[in-house]
Amino acid sequence: MDYSQEAPQLNNTEALLNEAEKPDFKRMGDALAQHAKLTQQDIARILELQRDKKILFGEAAKILGLITEEDLQKVLSEQFNYAYLQDGSHKISPLLIAAHNPFNVEVEQLRSLRSQLSIRWFDQGNKTLAITSVSSDDDASQLVANLAIVFSQLNKKTLLIDANLRDAKLHQLFNIETKMGLANILANRQGQYTLTRHESLPNLTILTAGTAVPNPQELLSQNNLSTLLLDLEKIYDVILIDTSPIHLGQDALTVVLKAKAAIIVAKKDNTMVVDMQQLSQQLSMTGAKLIGSVFVDA
């Protein structure tokens, strides 16, 4: 999936290498040696090539075939406390590319979007943002899930809330089995609630939609949601809320009002411009701030 936000054309691994190896190449060499089980003879060959070519230790090791790009990324992620899934044993959906493959171009675009949202909203002292769309086919849930991951990789305490009580998807994307979530809290049927964390994404917490209910708009309209968000803002740096697409009902407008800001997700060759304009007008009527729109290209 491609995100239309302008992204800097950076080689992320190269950028991290420049920061990691200039001040302390020995630490990088030691970490790679331990991870890739390099022998002293291997290290001697790497150092010789490094001197001859005037390149970084990790690049020299890759040229000699002694480590892979995956080895390099793993060590860099550990040194910079950059969390992502590093093997295939996890059941998180492959659609969450920010967790599985954070060094590709698409995730760079997500990081660019993260930067824009930080400048326009979060860096101004705000903590909560709703994400909405015209229809379920616009892939808004997929985008907000990936966006939450990249915010958490910035070492910000990030909470992802599934307020799409009509067609919840986040529990499927993150393979969460709990049936208790936001709907249960709002219905006052769960005094103590459990937030889900993934061990490989330590800064990300997820509140699922919870039990399917017949009256989502009524639940979301209660003051309970505003109170809950105020309490959660005392704990988390960033709170992202996935909402129902507008074609399923007016729930999104209620959530956006309480979140105080929103972005619209649209899909190339799928979302009609007139529908986006209508949604934008509806959101403006809530008094919340419309930060902007994001176009995705499947």
Which residue type occupies 115? S
Please count the other Cβ atoms lying within 10 Å of the Cβ belonging to residue 6.
10
User: Cα–chain-centroid distance for residue 43?
Assistant: 37
Cα–Cα distance measured from residue 216 to residue 186, given in angstroms and rounded to the nearest whole number: 10
Q: What does the pLDDT average to over 204-215?
A: 92
Task: Give pTM, 2 decimals.
Answer: 0.75
Burial level of 260, CB count in 10 A (0-12/13-18/19+)? middle
Is pLDDT at 10 greater than 50 in this prediction? no
Mean pLDDT of 212-235: 92
How far apart (Å, rounded) are the C-alpha atoms in residues 204 and 148? 7
**Average pLDDT estimate for 30-42:** 77
How does residue 36 score in pLDDT terms, banded at 50, 70 and 90? low
Summarize the confidence of residues 184-191 as an average pLDDT. Answer: 75
DSSP characters for 22-56?
TT-HHHHHHHHHHHHT--HHHHHHHHHHHHHHT--
Give percent of the chain above pLDDT 90.
Answer: 47
Q: How far is CA 248 from CA 142, 245, 251, in A?
A: 18, 6, 8
* Span of 87-91, 177-181, 263-267 with lowest mean pLDDT: 87-91
Task: Give the chain's mean pLDDT.
Answer: 83
Long-range contact pairs involving 70-76 (C-beta distance under 8 Å, separation at least 24)? 71/32, 71/35, 71/36, 72/13, 72/17, 72/32, 73/13, 73/103, 74/35, 75/28, 75/31, 75/32, 75/35, 76/13, 76/16, 76/17, 76/20
Q: In 3D, which of 44, 82, 79 has the Cα closest to residue 64?
A: 44
Note the pLDDT of residue 37: 73
Given a cut of 90, is residue 198 above it in pLDDT?
no
Taking a C-beta distance cutoff of 8 angstroms, is the pair 117, 263 a contact?
A: yes
- Mean pLDDT of the 244-270 span: 93
State percent of the chain over pLDDT 70: 81
Cβ neighbours for 291, distance < 8 A, ≥ 6 positions apart: 117, 120, 121, 129, 261, 262, 263
Which tokens is 10 given? 């950076």
Q: List, by residue range, all CATH 3.40.50.300 domains of the chain.
A: 97-297
* Backbone dihedral region for residue 84 (phi beyond 0: left; psi -120 to 50: alpha; all else: beta): beta
- pLDDT band for 195, please (50, 70, 90 cuts): confident
Note whether 43 and 57 are within 8 A (CB): no
CA distances from 16 to 75, 78, 82, 104 (A): 11, 12, 11, 14
pLDDT in tens, 92-128: 898 999 888 877 889 889 999 999 999 999 999 999 9
When comparing pLDDT for 141 and 13, which is higher?
141
Domain 97-297, what architecture? 3-Layer(aba) Sandwich (3.40)
Residue 189 confidence (pLDDT) = 58
Q: Are 46 and 67 in contact (CB under 8 A)?
A: no
